[in-house]
Amino acid sequence: MRTMVIKATSKSDDFSTQTLSNVFARGWFLAAAVAFLTFAPVDHVTPFKGAGLYGVSEAQAQRRPRSRAEGEGVVRQPVADAYNEALEMMQAGNTAGAIAHIRPLLADATPFEASIIYRFMGQAEIDRENFGAAVGHFESAINSGGLEGNDLAQLYLIVGQLHAADGQYDRAISSLNQYFTVVEEPEAQAYYVLAQVYAVAGRIREAVSPARTAVDMTSAEPREGFIRLLMSLYLSLDEWRNALPLLQQLVGLAPDKDQYWVSLAGVYQQLGQEDDAFAIYQFRYLMGFLSRSSEFVTLADLYMYHEVPYKAGQILERELDAGRVEANAENWEKLGNAWFAAREFERSRAALTRAANLSPDGQISYRIAGTHIQEEDWNQARRWLERAL
């Protein structure tokens, strides 16, 4: 059986490696952590009001367990007043003043009050990009023992992402797994983050399960990023059949992203589905995705491999004339060979002559002599054979 390796010649030659390295940049984890942080004023009766305290919605607050002792989960009025004053200072851009204003409250704070104060200070440190201090405050908020359920879970999620941004992947994984032990309804985004941290830590196999869960949880409204991560994990593990349906889904979601088509063609080739791989290369050409000389040459090679030399000649001739294929001896010879196989001897001779003028290789002259022999032009055939010698 004929086989031909199709090289992924797009700008992202190793798409799985690119995805697993670029997605997990420090800034991504920081941005993801901050996304879970929001502020709202507190009062002494209902600390979970309005848009939600620290990223916890009012609906989530209503689901919080009510096992605490009387008075827990309530902020005393002086603390609430000072907290809201500090919040106003934060919103006015006085971060240092806000921290200095609220820190003294820790002296006689209840566990719940201490937790929200530390969390406020953590957010304040993030606002001034002091991430190490922010992690310390968030961990103090956890250790104060004043939060539980979804409120505590969100802190674990934030701390995990900050550890990941700092390259402390084992600590990040530990914090993220703590999230799943206390959260009431895990979010798909949390599984996605855990999978990312496993992957950037080099624990690719362990990343698959949470990545798959994230994809399954969002199947009704597919998330491109979730699918791309799982697909990239499978490619890294050489699990082509598992990657295939994900790539097919990705080209449907984002048909304008050439890297998905390149990866899909590569997977088809790995699975021995060469006709499908060839069809994708044809599609990429028609869509204008090909841009490099090597890509056009590969497409021409594929047409030759599938015994369609005329089409190979058309593509090479067009792209050589347009300057998109390098006008070197090798490519002119390829064009000449394509036209020869298509029995277009005059066009073959013209291309091979260009190649002969750029290369001392006598085999090219033999090929030119062959075009004359096909047309029974013996004098010219003799001349080129002599030149070949």
pLDDT of residue 357: 81
Phi then psi for residue 351, to 5 deg, are: -70, -40
Q: Rounded CA gap, 318 and 324, in Å?
A: 9
Asked which of 26-40, 125-139, 293-307 is least confident by mean pLDDT, the reply is 26-40
For residue 343, pLDDT beyond 60: yes
More reliable by pLDDT, 303 or 377:
303
Phi then psi for residue 237, to 5 deg, are: -95, 5
Tokens for 314? 């058309």
Segments making up each domain of the chain, as ranges: 36-185, 292-389
CB 234 within 8 A of CB 222: no
pLDDT of residue 352: 84
Q: Rounded CA gap, 60 and 64, in Å?
A: 7
Confirm whether 36-185 and 292-389 share one CATH topology. yes
For residue 378, pLDDT beyond 50: yes
pLDDT of residue 7: 44
Asked which of 21-35, 101-115, 229-243 is least confident by mean pLDDT, the reply is 21-35
pLDDT of residue 60: 39
Whole-number percent of the chain with pLDDT over 70? 74
For residue 12, pLDDT beyond 50: no
Taking residues 84-97, what's their average pLDDT?
93
If you average pLDDT over each of 45-54, 238-247, 353-362, which comes out highest? 238-247
pLDDT of residue 191: 98
Confidence of residue 50 (pLDDT cuts 50, 70, 90): very low
More reliable by pLDDT, 349 or 361:
349
Residue type (1 letter), 109: A
Phi then psi for residue 280, to 5 deg, are: -65, -40
Whole-number percent of the chain with pLDDT over 90? 66
Mean pLDDT of the chain: 83
Q: Rounded CA gap, 214 and 347, in Å?
A: 56
pLDDT digits (tens, 9 = 90+) for 226-252: 999 999 999 999 999 999 999 999 999
For residue 68, pLDDT beyond 50: no
For residue 6, pLDDT beyond 70: no
Whole-angstrom CA distances from 333 to 323, 326, 328 are 16, 12, 9
Confidence of residue 46 (pLDDT cuts 50, 70, 90): very low
pLDDT of residue 215: 98
Whole-angstrom CA distances from 43 to 46, 88, 112 are 6, 14, 13
pLDDT of residue 56: 34
For residue 34, pLDDT beyond 60: no
Residues in Cβ contact with 214 at an 8 Å cutoff, skipping those fewer than 6 apart: 188, 189, 191, 192, 195, 223, 226, 229, 230
pLDDT of residue 66: 40
pLDDT of residue 117: 95
pLDDT digits (tens, 9 = 90+) for 246-300: 999 999 999 999 999 999 999 999 999 999 999 999 999 999 999 999 999 999 9
More reliable by pLDDT, 228 or 129:
228
pLDDT of residue 383: 64
Domain 292-389 is in which class? Answer: mainly alpha
What's the CA dihedral at 235, 236, 242, 248 to 10 degrees? -20
pLDDT of residue 377: 62
CB 109 within 8 A of CB 79: yes
SS (H, E, C) the chain: CCCCCCCCCCCCCCHHHHHHHHCCCHHHHHHHHHHCCCCCCCCCCCCCCCCCHHHCCHHHHHCCCCCCCCCCCCCCHHHHHHHHHHHHHHHCCCHHHHHHHHHHHHHHCCHHHHHHHHHHHHHHHHHCCCHHHHHHHHHHHHHCCCCCHHHHHHHHHHHHHHHHHCCCHHHHHHHHHHHHHHCCCCCHHHHHHHHHHHHHCCCHHHHHHHHHHHHHHCCCCCCHHHHHHHHHHHHHCCCHHHHHHHHHHHHHHCCCCHHHHHHHHHHHHHCCCHHHHHHHHHHHHHCCCCCCHHHHHHHHHHHHHCCCHHHHHHHHHHHHHHCCCCCCHHHHHHHHHHHHHCCCHHHHHHHHHHHHHHCCCHHHHHHHHHHHHHCCCHHHHHHHHHHHC
Diameter of the chain measured on Cα atoms? 109
CB 44 within 8 A of CB 76: yes
Residues in Cβ contact with 261 at an 8 Å cutoff, skipping those fewer than 6 apart: 251, 280, 283, 284, 289
Taking residues 154-167, what's their average pLDDT?
94
Superfamily of domain 36-185: Tetratricopeptide repeat domain (1.25.40.10)
